[in-house]
Every structure is written in C-alpha cells, then in structure tokens.
Amino acid sequence: MATAHFYRLLIERTPATVDQEHLPVAIWADPTTPDRTEALLGIGPSPVPALLHGLRWLQAAGADCVAIPCNTAHAFRDELVRRSGAEILDMVAAALRHARASHPQVTRIGLLATRGTRGALLYERAAEPLGLEIVHVPSDLQHHVDSAIAAVKRGADLGPAARDTAVAAACLRGRGAGLAIAGCTEIPFVAGEAARILPMIDSMVGLADDAIRRLAQAAS
C-alpha cells in the first residue's frame, strides 16, 4: 500500500497536462522482502539481498534514481548504495526538510515509526545537523504504533488502528512536539484522527518531491 500511495503522490505532485508529460516509472515491489525491523532487532534475516536484487533490476531499466518508500529500509541505505552504485534518495532527510519547510517554527518533532527505525536512530542522526530534536512515544506505549502499522499491512479494519495512532500522537503532543512525522509508510493510511491532535507530515511527500526534482534535473 505504501508503494501504491507513493506512486500516486508522485503522479499528483508532477506538473503534467497529458499522459506524455508524466514521469516514466519502474516499480519493483517484492513484499517477500524480509521484515526490516526484525532484521534490525536481530530476530530475522537481512533484507539486503532482496533489496539488491530489486535495485539491479531497476538499474537495468535505466533508473536515474531510486526511491524506497520504507523508512526502516533506510537503515540499510548506505550499504545498498555502496554495493549497487545506485543513486538512492534519502527519505529521512527529505521528510525532515519537508517538515521544516512547512512548519519553520517547530524544532521539536514527534516521530511515529517502527522499532527498527527508532533503534537505528535514523531520524536523530539526520535531525541533529538541522538543529531539530526528535521526540518518541514512550517505549511502553510503542505498541500502539506497532499495532497501527500491522493493521495496515494485513488490511484489517482500520478504526482501531486510527485510534492507536491518535493515542500515539497525543503522547507526542504531551511531550512538546509541534508536529508528528509519519515516519513509517503505513501510518498515513490511519492518520486522520491523529491529524486533529498534531499536524502530521507524510514522509512520502518529501520523498516524492525529491524524486520529481531529481528527474527534472535529469531531463534538463
């Protein structure tokens, strides 16, 4: 669902008036790729071989750049770039830039993300040079975020997932966050209720805009 949503964002955010002005896109979507969080927690196999396989196929297709609409996979981004030579856009940096551009007064940023993304400190590392601080849901309430993500992945009734996300957003607001980044690409599907508590930034929007800018460069 994240890939389909990202593809739609890419289309909606591309200035185009007929089919022929849209971007040529190749998508490799292999849902059998091992779970990124389980790999980071040391309880599952690495997703790197499956991701490299997809990258090689996209490179053969002539991709100018690659977007991976999964925040947790960005823990493996340096390794993927080194081993494939592909240009892989940085979704975490893009999300933080998008948050800063849309809410320049906010320096304390809440994050809704997987345990893998949290543990790998992906957002902390990218936020520090920008002078931004990352705030998390307390560990003992992280299960609300995990449940919401799992519900989207299995296509369950999304009502409880939306309430879980709202609870998590309320936590972040209580901790002084001025906005929340949906830092897992399943979250935007269940963020409606949460967005009434705290402004929500979709990490995929920044990534889509980065891709469109990058491809405009390639074309010019």
From the CB of 216, what's the least distance to a copy of itself, in Å? 15
Identity of the residue, 32 or 217, whose beta carbon is nearer to a copy of itself in the bound complex: 32
- Residue 10, both tokens: 């890419």
From the CB of 133, what's the least distance to a copy of itself, in Å? 31
Question: Among residues 16, 121, 216, 218, which is the contact residue for a copy of itself, using CB under 8 A?
Answer: 16
121: Cβ contacts below 8 Å, ≥ 6 apart? none
Question: Among residues 4, 101, 121, 218, which is the contact residue for a copy of itself, using CB under 8 A?
Answer: 4
The C-alpha atoms of residue 210 and residue 196 are separated, in whole angstroms, by 27
Task: Residue 107: name the closest of 121, 92, 128 by CA.
Answer: 128
From the CB of 138, what's the least distance to a copy of itself, in Å? 26
User: How close are the terminal C-alpha atoms of the chain, in Å?
Assistant: 32
The C-alpha atoms of residue 33 and residue 52 are separated, in whole angstroms, by 11
| Residues 152, 141 contacting (CB under 8 angstroms) | no
| Residue 26 sits in the site that holds a copy of itself (CB under 8 A) | yes
Question: Among residues 41, 61, 101, 218, which is the contact residue for a copy of itself, using CB under 8 A?
Answer: 61
| Residue 219 sits in the site that holds a copy of itself (CB under 8 A) | no
| Residues lying near a copy of itself in the complex (CB under 8 A) | 1, 3-5, 7-8, 11-12, 16-33, 35, 57, 60-61, 150, 153-155
